[in-house]
Each structure stands twice: as structure tokens, then as C-alpha cells.
Structure 1
Amino acid sequence: MSYWRCLWVAVKMIYQLLCCSVSLLLFCFNLLWLLCNLAIPWCTLTLLLVCIASKFVKLQRSPNEKRLLSLLSSPEDRPNYWPIANRAAGYDAPENSKAAIKKCLTRGYRNVLLDACLTSCGEIVVANPKRVNAAQQPLAELQKLNITEHHPMGSQYEAESVATLGQLNEFLEEEAAQVTVFLRLHDNSARTVDQLHKFMVANENFTLRTIVISRSPLAIYQLRKLHPEIICGLWHETYLSLAILKSSTLITSIYGAIFRNIIAPVIGISVVFLSKDEFNLHIGDLWRNVGVRPIVYMVNSPNEKRYFQRTMKIQYLTDSLRSEPHLLMNA
């Protein structure tokens, strides 16, 4: 008799467990349904309010489109039109150096990207923060360094110290007046923005040949509020680190649309640097439709360069000018 009683109790417990499980599932389903019905309207309303607000705070892009085109050089300058030399082609000569800029000009290339950092004493210098810890050192200490000695071909060049923006401007005025400088800010603090604004106001010629690049939309917005005529660009990086987020077409589309249709018009950028791994013709057209010229990074192999020149028809950032397809064909 006790055997049947125990069996009955066991069956009853299993039945109660199943009922509780079903109740829990129904509760979770109802909760999810409620959240979705509440969240979707609120999210839609929030996005609508953000779009409306962006119309009141947005900054106009630089009105002088001809100046931007003249800085980037025209397609008639092909094949030297396509590449922008990263750190003045840092694989070919000491990066961010005057010697490297001269070498670019000698080869017929005038678009160079240079790094800008802020020293501990508040001076903006041209240096790669991964190699020179400018934030922890004063200018006097930095200028004791020889930036050519760690380059594989450094022995072919004279010793050169880290340059300030003022020294770079003097060099450009004297020896490289035709160079277009893409100045990439690695320190996006308000202090850097203020120092750069003061320098560019006092040095109009430098301003006219420079496109300021930053990964911080806020830094660009602050700079252009102080000096609306400065041409700026956004260094676009992927912040969707989780694979599940990257694999979602909806999430990546929303993420890209926020940058293109809200952030870009608000801060008034003229160019955007995009990773080559995330670029295609459709993405390029979407950026062009909002008045922003896309540029891809980093493109170093000759085959990749041919692809972006002939198929994508887009300018690219490269570490070496020796691998340009037309140079290899003539070699």
C-alpha cells in the first residue's frame, strides 16, 4: 500500500512541477509582450525627438566645397589622386617626420595624414601616441628624442626630433606648401580642442591646408562651434565588439544610420574614414547621400589598391606608397 502511495505522491509532484513550469513560461511571455509593446513606441518616440532636436543643434558643413575638393586633389590627378599617406607613409620613411613628407612630395603625392597629441605641458605635437608617450612628458623631454632611429631605414635619414604644430607649419610654408594635411587627433579633450582652435586662428595658412580628423563626434562639434570654417572628418571605428551584435543586420543598420543621419549632420563633417573590412558600394553611397566623402583604411597591398581604385573608385589611407599599382607596373 505504501508503494502505491509513494508512486502517487511522485506523480503529483511531477504534475505540479509541470504546471509551475508552464506558468513561468507564460509569465515570461506576457512580460516580454508587455515590454515590447511599451518599448517600441517609446523607442520610436525617442528617436523622433532626437531627430527633431538634431535639426536645431546641427552645424553646417564647411560651405566652401571647392576648397575641400582642392585639398583632396581632383580625379584628374590620377593615379596620384587615390592614396593618402598614413603618417606620411610611415613604412617608407620615419613616421610623422619632415623627411617622410618630403619623400611623399618627391614621389608626387601631396595628401598626408599626421598624428597629433597633447604633451603634459599643453603643447600639441606631431607624434604617434603608440610610440611616444606625449601625455606623460613635457615638450622639452620629447624633443630630445630622435624619431628616425627606430625606423628600419632610419640610418638613411638625418636625426629629427618631435615637431610641434608651429614647427610643422614653418616647414610646410618653406618646403611643402602644396601638402594637404589630415591631422588626426588622438587626445580629444577640451584642452586639445581649445589649443588647436587658438593655433588655427593665429595661423590661417595652416587652417586652409588642413582637415582635422577625430574619432570623437563631441570633439569635432566643439571645434567647429569655435571655428566653423575648419574642415573636419570622422574616424569611424566599430564599437559593436560582441559577435552577436555584429551578426545582426538590424542592429548594425541602426548603428550606421545613427552615425550617418544624425551624428554626421549635427557635427558637420565633410569626410569619414571607414574600415576597409566594413565598406562596400552601398555603404559608400549612403555616406555620399548625406554629403560626406568616404575614405577607407588601411589599404597596403597592390591588389587591394587596384580594387579600391577601379571597382570602388574611392580614396584610401595607406602606410606605403611603394606598393602603388602604377609604380609596380612601371618598375
Structure 2
Amino acid sequence: MSYWRWLWLALKMIYQLLCCSVSLILFCFNVFWLFCNLAIPWCTLTLLIVCIASKFVKLQRSPNEKRLLSLLSTPEDRPSYWAIANRAAGFDAPENSKAAIKKCLARGYRNVLLDAGLTSCGEIVLANPKRMNVAQQSLDELQKLNITEYHPMGSQYEPESMASLRQFAEFLDAEADQATVFLRLHDTSARMLDQLQKFMTTDEAFTQRTVVISRSPLAIYQLRKLKPEIICGLWHETFLSLAILKSSTLVTSIYGAILRNIIAPVIGISVVFLSKEEINLHIADLWRNVGVRPIVYMVNSPNEKRYFQKTMKIQYLTDSLRSEPHLLMKA
């Protein structure tokens, strides 16, 4: 008798489990149906409103497209405009240094990207934040350091102190007036943007030769709202390396479309820096179609450089100019 009683209880439990499972499946189905009928149309409507609103709040991309082209192109006496020297070719000479900039110009390459940070006393300096925490030190403390000591070949160069933005601008006027500067902001605080805007307002020559780069669309929007004459670029981090974005082509496409067709026109960027792992001919054309010039980072191999020059026809950011095809062919 006990055996049949336990069997009955087991069957009863299995029946209740099946009923609960069916109820859970029906509940999930109803939630999905509600989402499809209510949420998706509202999301679509919201996206449409955002697209329309972006047409009214967007900033002018560049006050003078000819000025942008003159910065990125090259005179006939220059061998190449493809390469942009990261930290003034930091593998070849002390990074973010005047000596490195002089070396780039001597080789015939005028496009340099430099790091900018804000000191504790509110001065903008040229420094790599991964190597030195400038936010915790004053300008006087930083200028006591010899930045050439941090480079493997630093003994080949004269001692040099870290330059403030004002000192750097004076150096450009005196010794490197042909250089085009991509100034990458690592600090996007309101204090940094205010200091940069004030400086660029007082130094028109520096503004004319500089493209300001930031990873923050909001920072670019705020800076160009203060001074629309500034040409800005977006540093696109490798967000698409996240598994949640790579797992779906649809999500990746939507993310890219929002970035290109809504964010880029609103903040008024002129160039975008993209990782070499996340670019192809199609993506490059999509950026060009919205009036933004794509630039690839980081490209150091000679074969990769030939590929981006000959096939992609895109400028690239490099740590070293010694591997440039132009220089290798000369050698």
C-alpha cells in the first residue's frame, strides 16, 4: 500500500511541475508579445524623434573644409601624408618631445599626434598619462623632470623638460611652423575644456594648425560650442570588442549607424580614429558618406602600411616612421 502511495505522490509532483513549466512558457510568450507590440514601436518612434532633433541641435562640422584639407594634405616637397606620428613617433625618439617633432619634420612627415593632460595647477601639458600622472603634480614639479630619460634611446638626445601648451605653441611658431598637430585630450573635465578654449582663443595660429581629438563626444560638443572654429576628431575606442556587441550583427549595425549618422553630425566632428581591427572598405565609405574622414590606429608593420596606402587609401597613426614604405624604398 505504501508503494502505491509514494508512486501517486511522484506522479502528482511531475504533473504540477509540467503545469508550472507550461505557465512559465505562456508567461514568457505573453511578455514577448507585449514587447513586440508596444516596446518596439515606441523604440522606433523614439529613434525617429532623436534623428529629427539631431538635425536642429547639430554643430557645423568644420568652419572651413579647405583648412581641414590643407592640414591633412601635403605639399609636393613632402614625401608622404599617410602617416600620423603617434606621440611624434614615440618609438623613434622621446615621446611628446620637441626633439621627436624635429625628427619627424626632418624625415618629411609633418602630421604628429600628441597627448595633452591638465596639471594640478590648471596648466595644460604634453604628457602620456599612462606613464605619468600629471593631474597630481604642478607644472613646476613636472618641468624638473628630464623626459628623454624615459626613452630607450634617450641618451642620444639633449635633456628636455616637459612642455606646457603655451611653450609648445611658441616652439611651433619658431621652429616647426609646418607641423600639423593632432592634440589628444586625456582629461575631458570642464576645467580642461575651459583652459583649452581660452588658450586657443588667444592663439589663432595654434588653432589654425591643430585638430583636437577626444574619446568623449560630449567633450567635443562642449568645446566646439564654446569655439566653433576648432576642428575636432573623435577617438573611437574598441567598444565593439565587447562580446554583447559582437554577438549580433544587428546590434553592431545599429550602434555604428547611431554613431555615424546621429552623434557625428550633432557634435560636428571632421575626423574619426578607428582601430585597424574594426575597419574595412565598407565602414570607411560609410564614414566618408557622412563627411567624416576616417584614420586608422595603430599601424606599425610595413605591410600593413602599404595595405592602408594602396588598398584602403586611409591615413594611419603609427608609433614609428622607420618602417614607412617611402623610407624603406630609399634604403
Question: TM-score per shorter chain, which class?
Answer: over 0.9
Between stretches 246-255 and 150-159, larger displacement belongs to 246-255
Q: Give matches, 1:39-50, under 5 Å.
A: 39-50=39-50
Q: Give matches, 1:190-209, under 5 Å.
A: 190-209=190-209
Between stretches 16-25 and 201-210, larger displacement belongs to 16-25
Cα displacement string for residues 91-131 of structure 1 (whole angstroms, at most 9, x for unaligned residues): 00000000000000000000000100000010000111111
Question: Which whole-Å CA distance do the structure 1 matches of 2:102 and 2:308 have between them?
Answer: 26
Corresponding position: 1:211 with 2:211: yes
TM-score (norm 2): 0.97
User: What corresponds to 2:277 in structure 1?
Assistant: 277
C-alpha RMSD of the superposition: 1.4
Q: Give matches, 1:181-192, under 5 Å.
A: 181-192=181-192
Corresponding position: 1:8 with 2:8: yes
User: What corresponds to 1:268 in structure 2?
Assistant: 268
Amino acid at match of 1:276: K
User: What corresponds to 1:91 in structure 2?
Assistant: 91
Q: CA deviation at 1:61?
A: 1.1
Cα displacement string for residues 19-47 of structure 1 (whole angstroms, at most 9, x for unaligned residues): 22111111112112212322101111111
Between stretches 24-33 and 206-215, larger displacement belongs to 24-33
Q: Percent identity?
A: 85
Amino acid at match of 2:324: E
Question: Which whole-Å CA distance do the structure 2 matches of 1:111 and 1:215 have between them?
Answer: 20
Question: Which whole-Å CA distance do the structure 1 matches of 2:254 and 2:124 have between them?
Answer: 36
Structure 2 residue runs without a partner (length 5+):
none
Q: Give matches, 1:191-270, under 5 Å.
A: 191-240=191-240, 242-270=242-270
Question: Which whole-Å CA distance do the structure 1 matches of 2:315 and 2:241 have between them?
Answer: 27
> Is the partner of 1:282 in helix, strand or coil?
helix
Q: CA deviation at 1:299?
A: 0.2
Cα displacement string for residues 70-109 of structure 1 (whole angstroms, at most 9, x for unaligned residues): 1011496775110000000000000000000000000000
Question: Which whole-Å CA distance do the structure 1 matches of 2:328 and 2:181 have between them?
Answer: 26
Cα displacement string for residues 223-242 of structure 1 (whole angstroms, at most 9, x for unaligned residues): 11111111110001133453
Say if 2:63 and 2:228, in contact at 8 Å, map to a contact too: no
Question: Which whole-Å CA distance do the structure 1 matches of 2:254 and 2:296 have between them?
Answer: 21
Corresponding position: 1:295 with 2:295: yes
Between stretches 231-240 and 219-228, larger displacement belongs to 231-240
User: What corresponds to 1:128 in structure 2?
Assistant: 128
Question: Which whole-Å CA distance do the structure 1 matches of 2:59 and 2:10 have between them?
Answer: 72
Question: Which whole-Å CA distance do the structure 1 matches of 2:259 and 2:8 have between them?
Answer: 63
Cα displacement string for residues 255-312 of structure 1 (whole angstroms, at most 9, x for unaligned residues): 1111100010001010000000000000000000000000000000101001101110
Q: Give matches, 1:13-28, under 5 Å.
A: 13-28=13-28
Cα displacement string for residues 129-180 of structure 1 (whole angstroms, at most 9, x for unaligned residues): 1112110001110101110011011000000011011100111111110100
Say if 2:78 and 2:109, in contact at 8 Å, map to a contact too: no
> Is the partner of 2:183 in helix, strand or coil?
strand
Amino acid at match of 2:282: H
Pair 157,150 (structure 1): closer, same or farther in 2 beyond 3 Å: same
Question: Which whole-Å CA distance do the structure 2 matches of 1:3 and 1:64 have between them?
Answer: 90
Say if 2:79 and 2:108, in contact at 8 Å, map to a contact too: no
Corresponding position: 1:139 with 2:136: no
Amino acid at match of 1:227: K
User: What corresponds to 2:176 in structure 1?
Assistant: 176
Question: Which whole-Å CA distance do the structure 1 matches of 2:327 and 2:68 have between them?
Answer: 27
Q: Give matches, 1:92-131, under 5 Å.
A: 92-131=92-131
Q: CA deviation at 1:55?
A: 1.4
Structure 1 residue runs without a partner (length 5+):
none
Say if 2:120 and 2:138, in contact at 8 Å, map to a contact too: yes
Aligned length: 331
Question: Which whole-Å CA distance do the structure 2 matches of 1:177 and 1:295 have between them?
Answer: 23
Q: CA deviation at 1:244?
A: 3.3
